[in-house]
Amino acid sequence: MTDLEMKYHAGPAVEVLADELVDLFGVVWRIPPYAGNPRFSAAVFGKNLRAAMSIDGCGVLAGRIDGQLVGCAYGLTMPGDWPSWVTLGDARPQEVQEAADAGQVFWLRELMVLPDHARQGFGRQLHDAMLALREEPWTALHCIVDNEPAYSAYPRWGYQVIGRIEASEDAPAYDVMLLPPT
C-alpha cells in the first residue's frame, strides 16, 4: 500500500491549503446526484470552510501522496447550539448535549478522498488519525443517507445513527451519527 503523508492544520492556518481543499471538494462531489446542486458547489464549500476557520477547534488533516492532496478529514469543536444538531430536538442524548455545551464534541464535517484513491483505506486512515489528534471524547457527523460506501462504513467504525435531518427539498436526507468515547 502507498504511504499517506498526513499533516494537521488548525484554525487560521487552514488558509494555506484552502484552495486545494476547495479543488478536492469539487472533484469528490462532482458526481450524480450532487453535481449541479448548489449545496455541493466548490464555491459554497470554500465559503463555509473559510467561515469555519474562526470557530474554536477548526482543523484539517490533509493526506498527500507524493506531494499531491488526495484526501482530508475536516471538522471543528461543535457548539451546543450548532444548527444541524439543534434540529434533532429530543433525539439528542442528554449526555451528548451536555458534552457539546462543554466543548467536548468533535463535528466531523468532511472526510474526502479523491475517487482515484478511494477504497484503499485512506479514508479510514485520515479518520482515525484525525480523531487521535482531537481532545473531544465524542465525535458526531452527518452522512447523506444514499452516500455509499460512506454510509455503510461509519457504523462499522462504531458510529450509531441518532436521527435524520431533512433540511429542504433540494437537500438530501442526512443521518446524524455519534461515535461514543472509547
Consecutive sets of 10 residues in the chain, 182 residues long: mean pLDDT of each?
A: 90 94 95 82 94 93 97 96 91 96 97 94 97 98 91 96 84 92 90
Q: Is 95 exposed, middle or buried (0-12, 13-18, 19+ CB in 10 A)?
A: exposed
CB 62 within 8 A of CB 143: no
Q: Check whether the bond before 149 is cis (ω within 30° of 0).
A: yes
Decide: 126 and 6 in contact? Cβ < 8 Å: yes
CA angle 173, 176, 181 (to 5 degrees): 165
pLDDT at 73: 98
Per the structure block, which three cell numbers stand in for 151?
A: 454510509
Alpha carbon distance 26, 20 (integer Å): 10
Dist CA 87 CA 9 (whole Å): 30
